[in-house]
Structure 1
Amino acid sequence: MDTLRRARGGTSVIFAVHGAVTGTFAARVPWIADHVGTGAGGLGVALLMPGVGALLAMPLSGRLAHRYDLRSLTRVLILFWCAALVLPSLPTSLVVLCLVLIAYGATAGIADVAMNAQAVIIEERYGRSVMSSFHGFWSVGGLAGSAVAALAARAGLDARIHFLVTAAALAVVALAASARLLPHRPEPEIDAPPAFALPSRAVLPIGLVALCAVFAEGAGLDWSAVYVRDVVGDAASTAALTVSVFSVSMALARFAGDRVIHRLGPVATVRLAGAAASAGALIVVLGERTVPVILGFGLMGAGIAVVVPLVFATAGRIGEHPGRSLAGVAGIAYGSGLVAPGIIGGIAHLTSLTVSFVMVTALTVAMGLAARVLRPAPVRAVPQE
């Protein structure tokens, strides 16, 4: 049991490191845009590239997970992910930035699949839900990375130096944490999955639940501040606070999520989460004052927070190749995150931002109604020596 607890702690740190890289990059995007010399249009194109890279790389993850020991694979990929943080700070042209962001996103995607596969193994050995807490550590890492980046930006620190120092520090942390991970290789009699495989029919319904959750998450993170500023008409500082409320509520809900899942089960939890997220989104749509709208975004964040961890946990128990199933779900989720900002913006341009969040409300309702696809096979606890 001590080995399992150590593995859980090490995996939690790996998730936090992954989130910290993401948060660090996101907070320095304005510096990168200025360094490249591009406006909003060019930046919008560039920010699509990490999702494209992830979508291209993720179908390869199942083959990698089958071929290599998962502990070693996770260690190598999280170190590559830390190193990839340096890449976006280097280009001075939009074309080169787009190319390096494809590589950046590809590294993010395959590292994401590997660490979630490690989390699935740990959850199986615990015999109860622990996946939500891992994703909670990812959220904490993202918040910490963005906070440090905000301080670096305020101090006028060159992002090339900031990213290099941060990448080195996070790599050291990840290397130490990876020593605690569990070794794992698939059974030798199981054939290797295809080198490039799309989501299977069994995974697709689960992936669609992930699509709804990640789309709503992307809408909240990317558009909540704009909504408070443009629709409610409050100050930019208050609008920025909305993003923090949304993010913190997601992190807190993820840390509480495992207890809720243990008590209610995955299906009832997602139904409750869908109801909470839908109520929050509806408050946003109907609200006319700042405080209710911000609280609505917070409730929406808390509602969708536990869904993605549950989706990964369920996918990791499907079929002979959990890595392939995880990659399929992750690909759908990343794809949803990729298109969400553009779809929200397109609908807002044609109608209004309020109408965009009516669609978000419909997706959170669908997420709750589809909860039964997450009904798991019994989880078997593995005795520890």
Structure 2
Amino acid sequence: MDPLRRNRFGVSVVFVAHGAVTGSFATRVPWLADHVGVGTGRLGLALLFPAIGAMATMSFSGRLLHRYEGRRVTRLLLAAWCLALPLPALAPNLPLLCAALLVYGSVSGMADVAMNAQAVAVENRYGRPIMSGLHGLWSAGGLAASGIGVAAAAVGLDARVHFGLMAAVLLVVGQLGGRLLPTVRPDPDAAEPPAFALPPRPVLLIGLVGFCAVFGEAAGSDWAAKYLTDVAGAGQGIAAGAYTGFACAMAAARLVGDRVVARLGVVGTVRLGGVLSAAGAVLIVLSRAPVPGIVGFALLGVGVSVVVPLTFTAAGAATSHPGHAIAGVATISYGAGLAAPAVIGGIAAGTSLPVSFLVVAALAVLIAVGAGTFRTRRP
């Protein structure tokens, strides 16, 4: 196999494996709640810990990628991420569940940064856009694993067994893919980046655009079903399928996103994504029936789908420390995953869900306005 194709295949397998761990976990959250005996409120508190762990540790990946060879770092962190999957299911009570989820999120965020740094290296060598497609494969891996998780839950399989089996399989798959990654050695002449510091201004602006995109993604995934039942008058079955449609729309758009980037360029693609997501959010605000609501969420998903992958590409090309820049952008962008549920829920409690989605529309407009920050060149 051609070395470049070998590298691309390897990083594709790594993205699929990482997404599959996420998809496996997501389907068994109700089992975890029953296992430790918590209600919705305390479960929601526990589910904040993965995001807290990820944001707290992502910047350390930049230091690791500066000091050590990138393929080795990625394989090690991906292995830790797979092995962390069973930890939440082994927790017997809420405090230990929170601790397990903190570890789970920490290794997830670090592995995320490392694999995206590898993806940027492969894309640079490949000479054409591949980042959006890789994130599409991440989504596809998550959807496939969620299907397995639904089947496991349907037959009553204990999540400890389910997670253990998936961890073992994905550990092997991820390590086989990791062996095909390119050798990316740190620049010995570059100064070591700080452990915690805001990225330079160009990368900071890219991260803020990524924040807007992740906010829209989190709002859609967390509130689509609730919006369709409470505002659009949909039945429980249609509303339950809203998230699946939203996720499928994002995955499909990412899989074809590289062709759009090749045709429109990075800036044009980000601007188009902002326009589509803004249109989708406005349609959601105006929707009082299921069909336009579903179309609105699908447009929102398609619009934000390619923006997040392109933030990593732009950040990796903006400084002499790609790993540190990607870690900084990821920390800023994924902070929206913490902010979105609270902001949307708080505004909805004080006014209504349609009013809260005006915030999503405004942030989507900022994506289109800030697209020019993606016009970067490596120093």
Q: Normalising to structure 1: TM-score of the pair?
A: 0.96
| Superposed CA offset, 1:19-65 (max 9, x none) | 11111111111110111111111111101100110111011111100
Q: Which amino acid aligns with 2:196?
A: F
Aligned residue number for residue 220 of structure 1: 220
Aligned residue number for residue 26 of structure 2: 26
Aligned residue number for residue 54 of structure 2: 54
Aligned residue number for residue 118 of structure 1: 118
Aligned residue number for residue 258 of structure 2: 258
Alpha-carbon separation, structure 2, partners of 1:51 and 1:99 = 12
Alpha-carbon RMSD across the aligned residues, in angstroms, is 1.2
Match runs of 1:183-262 below 5 Å: 183-262=183-262
Moved over 6 A (4+): none
Alpha-carbon separation, structure 2, partners of 1:364 and 1:196 = 28
| Preserved CA contact (<8 Å) 2:232 2:288 | yes
Alpha-carbon separation, structure 2, partners of 1:277 and 1:107 = 30
Aligned residue number for residue 289 of structure 2: 289
Alpha-carbon separation, structure 1, partners of 2:17 and 2:262 = 27
| Preserved CA contact (<8 Å) 1:19 1:141 | yes
Match runs of 1:1-385 below 5 Å: 2-377=2-377
Alpha-carbon separation, structure 1, partners of 2:214 and 2:318 = 21
Alpha-carbon separation, structure 1, partners of 2:212 and 2:195 = 28
Alpha-carbon separation, structure 2, partners of 1:87 and 1:257 = 35
SS state at 1:203 partner: helix
Alpha-carbon separation, structure 2, partners of 1:248 and 1:368 = 23
Alpha-carbon separation, structure 1, partners of 2:83 and 2:169 = 10
Identity, in percent, stands at 55
Instruction: Give the gaps of 5 or more residues in structure 1.
Output: 380-385
Aligned residues: 379
Instruction: Give the gaps of 5 or more residues in structure 2.
Output: none
Aligned residue number for residue 382 of structure 1: none
Aligned residue number for residue 383 of structure 1: none
What is the CA distance between 1:269 and its match in structure 2? 0.9
| Preserved CA contact (<8 Å) 2:17 2:141 | yes
| Preserved CA contact (<8 Å) 1:203 1:329 | yes
Which range moved further: 113-122 or 126-135?
126-135
What is the CA distance between 1:350 and its match in structure 2? 1.1
| Preserved CA contact (<8 Å) 1:200 1:328 | no
Alpha-carbon separation, structure 2, partners of 1:321 and 1:311 = 15
Q: Which amino acid aligns with 1:154?
A: A
Q: Which amino acid aligns with 2:56?
A: L
Alpha-carbon separation, structure 2, partners of 1:339 and 1:333 = 10
What is the CA distance between 1:378 and its match in structure 2? 7.4
| Preserved CA contact (<8 Å) 1:59 1:198 | no
Q: Which amino acid aligns with 1:139?
A: S
Alpha-carbon separation, structure 2, partners of 1:354 and 1:74 = 42
Alpha-carbon separation, structure 2, partners of 1:2 and 1:41 = 52
| Preserved CA contact (<8 Å) 2:233 2:288 | no
| Preserved CA contact (<8 Å) 2:66 2:187 | no
| Superposed CA offset, 1:231-261 (max 9, x none) | 1121111001111111011011111111111
SS state at 1:187 partner: coil
Alpha-carbon separation, structure 2, partners of 1:200 and 1:162 = 43
Alpha-carbon separation, structure 2, partners of 1:339 and 1:278 = 19
What is the CA distance between 1:148 and its match in structure 2? 0.9
Q: Which amino acid aligns with 1:56?
A: A
Alpha-carbon separation, structure 1, partners of 2:179 and 2:145 = 23
Alpha-carbon separation, structure 2, partners of 1:116 and 1:163 = 25
Q: Which amino acid aligns with 1:297?
A: F
